[in-house]
Structure 1
Amino acid sequence: MRGGFEALCFDLDNTLVDRNRAWQAFLEGWLRDRFPHTPATWRKRTLAELVALDRHGWAPSEDVDAHLVKALGLDDREVNRLRIQWRGAIPRLFTPDPAVTATLAAMAPQLPMALVSNGSGENQRRKLAAAGLIPFFPPEFIFISGERRCAKPGPGLFQAALAALGTPAAATLFIGDDPVRDILGAHAVGMATCWISNGRADVSLPQSPDMIISSIPDLEGFVHARHEPHTCHA
């Protein structure tokens, strides 16, 4: 399975965990509780607007917060309360995915693995624990932007992970869903890249990845394919 790779680096949101599904489920419940007397059609439309504004978690949180204030009439205190509620809901929204954990369990004995994620340390570590992923990533191989004061697509997190792993960039495969923060960022420091498409066919990729797969369970069968781009349509 090695096929020239000496280590693997993973993004977290929408790569190892379904952050989009969790965020949508959270917002749906929040809208129902916060605006109980509004028509269901309004809540459905508002949910769609918030999900679209979020852009798979790529949108700056301040943009989402500003929309909550302007469009829904919240004040800053309510927005802050919403963020606190989100953190508290993470343990029930992010549950272990047996297919993902089985894939990591199969690869972990063969290759060292690091986690490289943007986000707050508190939120990302809560997600890791809730999804049952802590056993696969030793503390020295977890790199979170909120704890490191550098973020993808800048080189800092990638370089820190490579230094900890002790592997050459070209022999280290980065797996992520974000075309810019993950694929372009990892490529810029010389890493091989694997894009998680999550079923998307219409995303413009600023940098061609070495591999394209639909989801993490597809990775085990394709990680050996280092030199030629491959697409898995599972």
Structure 2
Amino acid sequence: MIETIVFDIGETITRDDRYWQGWADWLGIPRHTLSALVGAVVAQGRDNADAVRLARPGIDIVAEYQAREAAGRGEHLDEGDLYDDVRPALSALREVGVRVVIAGNQTSRAGELLRDLQLPVDLIVTSGDWGVAKPQPEFFQRVLEVALAAADATLYVGDHPANDVFPAKAAGLRVAHIRRGPWGHLWADDPEVVAAADWRIDSLTQLAEIVAV
């Protein structure tokens, strides 16, 4: 029985449109160019930050991130960045007594912005808060600590095979792979993803049916 569901953030809870548009505008390149580079690194199974590095070789991403924040062009999240099924799905899970946690690879600032949206969840934490990021095993150890449930009673939901599906499964958690965003769509039918995922979903609203079983 699933007692706790833990959600990835980017392309699971939030759309990444604004994130990549912001980087393209900051770098002074067409948005479709950076979008195409994101697609290229996804297809190659590379880290998404490599898209920025391809657009601007030698870039110090941390320094540029800080410069964007200082210039008032840093991170921003509002209701429009949420996928349409997020609030209904989270509310339905809370109503049936499931503990709901959001934990993904994001900055502490992104965590603050998400908490400001007053989502119907028990906890929101980020890799920036913890000082450890996916796919490191230590991240999923922290996930289990905040889940307050056994590993086999905890379900991790995410779109990214290397960051979500495989390391969560290795940590003993149940896994739902969502066909959403570039990674979710491109790798949805990969044999290794299919074999590792306990469930494969197209919408977060399907999770209520899973926990009801």
Indicate the RMSD between aligned Cα atoms, in angstroms: 3.5
Task: Give the structure-2-normalised TM-score.
Answer: 0.75
Task: Output the CA distance in 2 between the equivalents of 1:164 and 1:65.
Answer: 33
Q: What is the DSSP-based 3-state SS (H/G/I as helix, E as strand, rest coil) of the residue aligned with 1:183?
A: helix
Q: Cα–Cα, structure 1 residues 58 and 123, in superposed 2: closer, same or farther, change >3 Å? A: farther
Report Cα offsets for 1:197-231 as digits up to 9, x if no partner: 12726543355200000121232233445xxxxxx
Map 1:26-105; keep pairs closer than 5 Å. Answer: 26-27=22-23, 30=25, 34=28, 43=30, 46-52=33-39, 55=42, 59=47, 61=49, 63-70=50-57, 79-80=64-65, 83-84=68-69, 88=74, 90-91=76-77, 94-105=80-91
Report Cα offsets for 1:102-149 as digits up to 9, x if no partner: 1111111311111221121112432x246x3x43334xx333212212
* 1:13 maps to 2:48: no
* 1:149 maps to 2:145: no
Displacement of 1:11 in angstroms is 0.7
Task: Output the CA distance in 2 between the equivalents of 1:213 and 1:149.
Answer: 30
The question of whether the paired residues in 2 share the 8 Å contact of 1:159 and 1:189 is answered with yes
Q: Cα–Cα, structure 1 residues 77 and 98, in superposed 2: closer, same or farther, change >3 Å? A: closer
Task: Give the structure-1-normalised TM-score.
Answer: 0.70
The question of whether the paired residues in 2 share the 8 Å contact of 1:7 and 1:165 is answered with yes
Task: Output the CA distance in 1 between the equivalents of 2:46 and 2:73.
Answer: 18
Map 1:203-214; keep pairs closer than 5 Å. Answer: 203=188, 204=190, 205-206=192-193, 207-214=195-202
Q: Which moved more, 1:45-54 or 1:187-196?
A: 45-54
Structure 1 counterpart of 2:107, from 109, 115, 120:
120
User: What number of residue pairs does the alignment pair up?
Assistant: 204
Structure 2 counterpart of 1:200, from 178, 185, 202:
185
Bigger Rg, structure 1 or 2 = 1
What runs of 5+ residues in structure 1 fail to find an aligned partner? Answer: 36-42, 226-234
